[in-house]
Amino acid sequence: MKNRLLTTAIGAGTVMASLSACGGGGGGGDTASADAGNCSVPIAETEAPVVSVWSWYPNAKTVVEDFNELHDDVQVCLTNAGQGADEYARFQTAVSAGTGAPDVIMLETDTVPVFALQEALVDLTQYGADEVQGNFGEGAWRDVSSGDAVYGIPVDGGPMAMMYRTDVFEQYGITPPTTWEEYRAAGEALKAAGGPLMGDFPANVPAPTVALMQQNGAEPWVYDSGDPTQLEIDLNSPEGKEVLDYWAGLVRDGLVGTQDQFTTDYIAGAIRGDYATYISAAWAPGYLTGAGAGEGEDAGNWAVAPLPQWDPANPVSVNWGGSVFSVTSQSEQPELAAQVAKELYADEASLTDGWTSQTIFPLNQSVLSSQEFIDNESEFFSGQTANRDVYIPAAEAYEGSTYSPFGTTFYAQFTEEIAAINAGEKTGSEALDDLQAEMETYATQQGFTLD
Amino acid sequence: MATLDTAPRPQAPAADPAPARSRRQRRGRAQGLIGWAFLAPFAVVFLLFLVTPLLYAFYLSLFTKGLATGERFAGLDNYTRAFTDPAFLSGVWFVIRFSLVVIPVQILVALAAALVLDSVTSRFARFSRLMIFVPYAIPAVIGAVMWGFLYSPNFGPLEQLFGDGAPFLLSPDNLFYGFTNVVTWQWAGYYMIIIYAALQGIDPAVYEAARIDGASSRQIALRLKVPMISSALILILVFSLIGTLQFFTEPQVLTPISNGAISTDITPNVYAFNLAFRFAQFNYASAISFALGIVVFIGVYLFLFLTRKRGGFLK
């Protein structure tokens, strides 16, 4: 309401964005020739060529300092261009404008296809991506690959697991469920005993829901970078519907909450013990710690167990989140940029700093196989060896997945469908049928051919 | 609306000797240049940040670009799509319904406050005037964040009053009222000041005459004051109509805590913003913006046309 001229604001924003983009690219190049004065971390080797990097890891400065210290042939100029969606909005604007992107950009794994499709990212196979392939598990590598092309070097991942409140479980005599059937039964027991909610089904973060659908064998997106316009969308498969109907049932029966996550309200509820479990990923303990959980009165209340399964005979591991370094196609020094993508956050000091501060769950095998990491007793989980018991097996069993080539639009639509489920307007199946139709319309509009 | 009151330029009499005339013309030209120089800072900003982006956005709106296809000229296709796009139309319908409720509410609140403050002259009145105006001085974003906390089902005051049964004012069913409350809170004080200023401009002799004729205070307020400030009322109606049709800040800020109730297309402006900066559809977003501009223009023009006897704009 504030801006009376908002009719024009979008247009103005567009122009200003491209203006500032032009400004950034002064000498006909891009930010590659970044002015060292603008970097968040001082350049150690002033003679060496500089590669610009956008990243928002909490310990990004340490990581870049380590990199600049270790290298005399190339230096990194770090910019924090915002976290997640904020950075993507800037990058998207730079991509649309054709100028203003950095050489190397940190992307969440599920965002890589969105930009790869727009030819905004460089295929790293031509710059020796295979040299570092051995550092990562198969699933992690499949996540950054499309057909023969590789669009990013993995840094961290999010093998999913079930965090739970030991105080709630003890009080109501519940043992950690191993199947989704048991998960529901535990929820019913909690409700019958007047306990808190079993979990939460948020509308605003559909990514874990997609992962849970994949756990049951759904394959919502099928395409190949060789011909990305040839697309197969299968959101309303029976497997997917089973999962969404299951959660819609939990919501309908009042067994789980419908609170949006990554909000103050959710954190407050999690700390207060409103939710007996938090279906989350390996980075979640760090996230919760940063938000103030696991301290004071809340200390010693958390433990983690493997994600419940649909078929305990054939357990499936899925992944939520994680991030990679990609090289943008606007880079004028792709070879150097690829070197940075391969070597940044890959040295021992940085990785150790990352996992000990709980800011990332590294995918680099050098960490996953290190005894110190395996035997680490997590303070958040009251000394539980969470890596060995839960997260490492989940990471190793993860087979990789194919993410949506238009993630932001897909997630926004999925959010609306989940909100409709949570409002009691649709069943899970209905929501997926509608989502399928919407995505097909959108894909056709955007020029895809649907199989 | 307001025309610059330029002093009539002295016309050089034809009988003037030639050298004098040319000198005077030179001076006239110099004065003209000085005038332009004074105008320049405004003109540059106006052209650069309003006219140019508008033209560029219009230019953008004439093209389409799919993720899997290149950019191509589309003519008015984006506009056809906009006016048949359920997301856009439902957004327009939302802001129209919202206008119909929120504008009368906030103007009634503002009018009532202004009339009371106008007839009371004490220190308390001055204090109240300031307090009613304060919400407008709070930036809309901060106001919305603050209301987000007040509405919070976990630590808002409603929760403390009603416990677990507290209504969540940002749920799909209550959203409309939640927004009405925030917007009224934000803008009523501002409109109150405009009305109050208009009331202060009325000659008190009129009231005296009315009182001698036996009019009560209420009659003076409703029969005298309100008609006499009708042009101020129409001014704020136009302001609030334009503002409400372009509703953006509050839904944008409150989206993350609405548990999905505030969709990406809740109002046309929010829709345009998300299309451009989240979904990378700059062309279509430009068309949506222009389409909204058309809706606003028609709405305001209709309104001014219908009230042309009272207002001063179209006379």
Dump the DSSP string for A281-317.
Answer: ETTHHHHHHHTTTTSGGGTT-EEEEEPPBSSTTS---
The residues that bridge with A105 in the sheet, in sequence order, are A54, A326
Distance CA(A275)–CA(A64), nearest Å, equals 38
CA distances from A2 to A132, B52, B140, B248, B252 (A): 51, 22, 6, 8, 12
By residue count, chain A amounts to 451
B156 part of contact set with chain A, CB < 8 Å: no
Q: Do B186 and A263 touch (CB under 8 A)?
A: no
Residue ranges of chain B whose pLDDT lies below 70: 1-24, 164, 309-315
Instruction: Tell me what pLDDT residue A220 has.
Output: 93
Judged by a CB distance cut-off of 8 A, whether residue A194 touches chain B is no
The b/e string for B180-210 (b: 16+ C-beta within 10 A; e otherwise) is bbbbbbbbbbbbbbbbbebbeeeeeeebeeb
Q: For residue A446, what pLDDT band results from cuts at 50, 70 and 90?
A: confident
Alpha carbon of A368: minimum distance to chain B alpha carbons (Å): 35
Give A66's pLDDT tier (boundaries 50, 70, 90).
very high
pLDDT at A2 over 90: no
Sign of CA dihedral A223, A154, A312, A283: negative
Q: How far, CA to CA in Å, does B289 sit from each of A93, A182, A435, B247, B296?
A: 18, 51, 26, 12, 10
> What are φ and ψ of residue A222, in 5° steps?
-130, 120
DSSP A203: S
| Nearest residue in chain A measured CA to CA from B138 | A2
Domain A22-157+322-374 carries which CATH code? 3.40.190.10
Shortest alpha-carbon distance between residue A379 and chain B (Å): 28
Q: How confident is the model at residue A17 (pLDDT cuts 50, 70, 90)?
A: very low
A185 and chain B: CB distance < 8 Å anywhere?
A: no
pLDDT higher than threshold 80 for residue A9: no
Q: What pLDDT shows up at residue B310? A: 57
Q: Which of A230, A83, A212, A216 is nearest to A146 (CA)?
A: A230
Q: Which helix (H) or strand (E) holds A156?
A: strand A153-165
Residue B308: its pLDDT value, please?
A: 78
Q: Which of A141, A105, A117, A78 is nearest to A446 (CA)?
A: A117
Dihedral over Cα of A269, A274, A278, A279: its sign:
negative
Which backbone phi and psi does A449 adopt, to 5 degrees? -100, 125
Give me the residues paired with residue A305 across strands.
Answer: A162
> Which fold would CATH assign to domain A158-320+384-450?
D-Maltodextrin-Binding Protein; domain 2 (3.40.190)
**Rounded to an integer, what distance in angstroms lies between the CA atom of residue A128 and that of residue A355?**
27
Closest Cα in chain A to B292: A7
Does the distance separating the beta carbons of A419 and B259 come in below 8 Å?
yes
Distances in Å between the Cα of B15 and the Cα atoms of A378, B12, B22, B122 are 101, 8, 13, 65
Measured from the Cβ of residue B84, the count of other Cβ atoms closer than 10 Å reads 9
A410: nearest CA in chain B?
A: B279
Phi, psi (degrees; rounded to nearest 5) at A302:
-115, 145
Q: Which residue has tokens 């899970």?
A: A428
Residue A150 is encoded by which pair of tokens?
């590789």
Q: A82: alpha, beta or left, given left = phi > 0 and alpha = psi -120 to 50?
A: left
Listed in order, strand segments (DSSP E) in A29-70 are 50-54
Could you identify the residue written with the tokens 């006219």? B51
Q: CB–CB of B278 and A89 under 8 A? A: yes
Residue ranges, comma separated, of all CATH 3.40.190.10 domains in chain A are: 22-157+322-374, 158-320+384-450
> Does the beta carbon of B57 lie under 8 angstroms from any beta carbon of chain A?
yes
- CB < 8 Å to A21, chain B: none
Q: Is A102 in the B-facing interface, judged by CB distances under 8 Å?
A: no
Residue keyed to tokens 């004098």: B20
Give the nearest partner residue to A260 out of B141, B260, B263, using CB atoms: B260
Torsion of CA A221, A227, A228, A232, to 10 degrees: -30
Candidate from A11, A204, A422 with C-beta closest to B256: A204
- Asked whether the predicted pLDDT for residue A3 surpasses 70, the reply is no
For chain B positions 182-241, those within 8 Å of chain A (CB to CB) are: 183, 186-187, 239
Question: Quick check: A261 contacting B, CB < 8 Å?
Answer: no
d(Cα B291, Cα B298) in Å, to the nearest integer? 11
Which amino acid, one-letter code, is at A335? E
- Cβ of residue A423 closer than 8 Å to a chain B Cβ: yes
> Sign of the C-alpha dihedral, residues B175, B176, B177, B180?
positive
**pLDDT tens digit sequence for A398-429:** 998 889 988 888 998 999 999 999 999 999 99
| Chain B residues whose beta carbon lies within 8 Å of the beta carbon of residue A228 | 68
d(CA A381, CA A300): 7
Q: Are strands B71-73 and B63-65 parallel, antiparallel or unpaired?
A: antiparallel
Tell if the CB–CB gap between B259 and A258 is shorter than 8 Å.
yes
The DSSP line for B212-238 is HTT--HHHIIIIIIHHHTHHHHHHHHH
**Residue A250's pLDDT is what?**
97
Q: Residue A411 in contact with residue A329, Cβ under 8 Å?
A: no
Distance between CA atoms of B274 and B255, rounded to whole angstroms? 12
Domains of chain B: 22-61 (no CATH), 85-306 (1.10.3720.10)
The C-alpha of A9 sits at a distance from chain B's nearest C-alpha, in angstroms, of 8
Residue in A3, A11, A203 closest to B260 by CB? A203
Q: Do the Cβ atoms of B140 and A1 come closer than 8 Å?
A: yes
> What ipTM goes with this model?
0.73
- Strongest mean pLDDT among A204-218, A280-294, A357-371, B154-168: A204-218
B contacts of A16 (beta carbons < 8 Å): 49, 53
Q: Which of A28-37, A208-217, B118-127: highest mean pLDDT?
A: A208-217
Return the residue of A nearest to B294 by Cα: A7
Expressed in angstroms, the distance from the first to the final Cα of chain B is 11
DSSP H or E segment with residue A78: strand A75-79
Q: Which of B52, B249, B256 sits opposite A2 (nearest CB)?
A: B249
Residue of chain A minimizing CA distance to B239? A4
Does A118 lie at the interface with B, CB-CB under 8 angstroms? yes
Looking at beta carbons, which residues of chain B come within 8 Å of A96? 280, 282
Residue A120 to residues A102, A104, A151, A152, B189, Cα–Cα distance (Å):
11, 11, 10, 12, 49
Task: Tell whether B256 is within 8 A of chain A (Cβ).
Answer: yes
Whether residue A10 and residue B152 make contact (CB cut-off 8 A), yes or no, is no
Q: What confidence score (pLDDT) does residue A304 get?
A: 95
